[in-house]
Structure 1
Amino acid sequence: MNIKELINFLKVCKMKSISKASRELFISPQGLSKSIKKLEKELGVILFIRSSIGMSLTKQGEVLKKNAIRIIQDLEKLKYEMYNATKFNKEKIKLVSSYGVIRLLEPECILEFSKNNTNISLEYEEHPDMYIDEYVKENKADIGFAIEPIDDAAFNKTVIKTFDIKLLVHKDHPLSKKKVITYKDVDNVDMVIESKVFKVYHILDEHFKQAGVEPNIIFVTSGFSLCHKLCAENKCISITMDFISRDIKNNDIVAIPFEDKSLKWTICMITKKGHISSTIKTFEDYILSWINHI
């Protein structure tokens, strides 16, 4: 006896018809009739008297109807407790990631890991860059997908991927004709970039200050999507990385490399200094294998 069979039984009780009940249950009359017969066989009784005017319950059917709701509730409770017992025995990983990283790894990466490692419970959250290091350092997360710079004294670090930071401009913008961009090119030019809770802001700010230039920051945002949108409207310049501009396709904007090759955006996988469990090692090995195949 299972919950579905009992729900089917109660629906037939209410509708007094296999055909009417089957329509409400979105199954075929043949399938519903088979379900009722299976229940009768399992219990060793006849539940319905079938006649030309409909279906009525036998005495045994009345007894089952009286107890069916309680049985369903008990089975649901048992199912829930069994699920929790299984979940409790799983190894757990709390993963936090900088916004944008999932664009590179693709959601399938996380889903595939969970599918292939049913003994591991994986919790996943996304946050701005500046919070990732803090979450891992304070044991609020086991693993972080973080952006350089990383404090090597506080974290174990594995580089996942490094990208050149590129200037994003509309195809009609004067800078769109350049093969490479110098820092002088962006001096006093309207720019939109991610806010101070993202490390790319501080990377750019440091390089611009060293070069003695100051773009006109007209807006800061929490996502690359808005940067691309405003550039597509030719309202400003911005910055991007190849995998992001490929993901946010727009034929009206172009990404141009900087002359300074040290201007990088590097994704790392970090854990707190100390012992790394076999569960975390399993996840790290999986991510490195995944990244090698995309």
Structure 2
Amino acid sequence: MNINELKYFIKVAEAKSLSKAANELFISYQGLSKSLKNLEIELGCPLFEKNRFAAKLTEYGEELYRSAKLIVGEWENLQLSLGQIQRRKNKLFHIGIAMGVDIPFPDFHRRLDQFLTNHGDVIMIDAWDSYCEEKLESGELDIAVTFGPVDEQHFDSTRLLQGSLAAIVDDHHPLAERDTLSIADLQGQKIITVNRYFRNYDILMQACLAQGFKPDIVLNTVNLTATLIACQDKNTIGISNNLSYFKKTVVGYRIIPVAGPNTTCQINLLIHSKQRKNKEILRLKQELMRCLFVDSESLAKELR
């Protein structure tokens, strides 16, 4: 038994669905099912009732759930404490920046260079959304800027911008004349989007599944050029969000918001919820806000 198996078990118990938990954990359904089976074999008892439509805890599962929550909570506290000790020794802070969050903010990289010049005790890490959140939970990152929504039970989140999913289509695509699209419009279309480590993938999957279909994703890429080439097929749509495509025009293509329930995208500044009283991290968070995201309010008005 390892701590990840307990985390997976807790997620399935709370989601009451293996497929939903697998999507939220960014792992395969088969991998999650195997992890739970290994846990049941090791403990020698069934943790979930056999049911095709829902993951319902057995009496054994209920008992494990109560204990697992305590064990995982203590483990996370220990990781945070050890990380703080290590950073105090090294006198370093670690900030994660998810790919793409810089796009809406003017002079982001110049401002970032200035911030790092003024803060020699900060190490900046470029990564993807799920990595940043995972490392915040483990205490390896102190602050992160990611796409959301995020789990606000685990993270103290400051929303910088909010938008929606957006489609990029060739000018000759049948949907190119539309001002907005709905999730239902994506059914039957070939979809190009990022991979499962990025928040946009999760938002797209959940929104489509809520409408009763699974999107036909034919290519996972973060490369705009690859997306544009693939979108020359008149049945293909690129999906990102209107924050990543903010103020961007691409000759020969249209960028169209995808409106409706479950399509909201955000850019958030995060710290772990257990760091809310850490004065050093709160100070650094405020300085990061002032330096990099001073324009967030005016940018938000332009998106409305």
Question: Normalising by the residue count of structure 2, what TM-score does the alignment of the two structures yield?
Answer: 0.60
* Residue 274 (structure 1) shift: 2.7
Give, in whole Å, the separation in 1 of the partners of 2:90 and 2:140: 18
Q: Secondary structure at the match of 1:280?
A: helix
Alignment partner, residue 203 of structure 1: 203
Alignment partner, residue 109 of structure 1: 111
Change over 3 Å in CA distance of 1:273–1:259 after alignment to 2:
closer
* Superposition CA RMSD, Å: 2.7
Contact 2:194 2:240 survives alignment (8 Å): no
Aligned counterparts, 1:183-194, within 5 A? 183-194=183-194
Aligned counterparts, 1:47-126, within 5 A? 91-105=91-105, 106-115=108-117, 117-118=118-119, 120-126=120-126
* Residue 250 (structure 1) shift: 1.7
Contact 1:186 1:213 survives alignment (8 Å): no
Work out the percentage of aligned pairs sharing the same amino acid. Answer: 16
Change over 3 Å in CA distance of 1:228–1:162 after alignment to 2:
farther
Alignment partner, residue 259 of structure 2: 259
* Residue 237 (structure 1) shift: 0.6
Give, in whole Å, the separation in 1 of the partners of 2:259 and 2:268: 24
Aligned counterparts, 1:128-277, within 5 A? 128-224=128-224, 226-231=226-231, 236-246=236-246, 249-260=249-260, 262-275=262-275, 276-277=277-278
Alignment partner, residue 291 of structure 1: 293
Contact 1:93 1:121 survives alignment (8 Å): yes
Give, in whole Å, the separation in 2 of the partners of 1:204 and 1:167: 11
* Residue 142 (structure 1) shift: 0.9
Alignment partner, residue 281 of structure 1: 282
Q: Which piece of structure 1 moves more, 96-105 or 242-251?
A: 242-251
Give, in whole Å, the separation in 1 of the partners of 2:133 and 2:246: 28
Q: Which runs of 5+ in 1 are unaligned?
A: 1-87
* Residue 170 (structure 1) shift: 0.9
Aligned counterparts, 1:15-34, within 5 A? none
* Residue 257 (structure 1) shift: 1.7
CA offsets, 1:165-197, max 9 Å, x none?
111111111110112212232111111111111
Give, in whole Å, the separation in 2 of the partners of 1:109 and 1:226: 29
CA offsets, 1:239-281, max 9 Å, x none?
2333432476421111112231651111111112334544422
Alignment partner, residue 51 of structure 1: none
Aligned length: 205
Matched to 1:104, the amino acid is P
Give, in whole Å, the separation in 2 of the partners of 1:184 and 1:274: 39
CA offsets, 1:65-97, max 9 Å, x none?
xxxxxxxxxxxxxxxxxxxxxxx9995220112
Q: Secondary structure at the match of 1:165?
A: strand
Give, in whole Å, the separation in 2 of the partners of 1:287 and 1:122: 11
* Residue 113 (structure 1) shift: 1.2
CA offsets, 1:126-146, max 9 Å, x none?
112111111011111111112
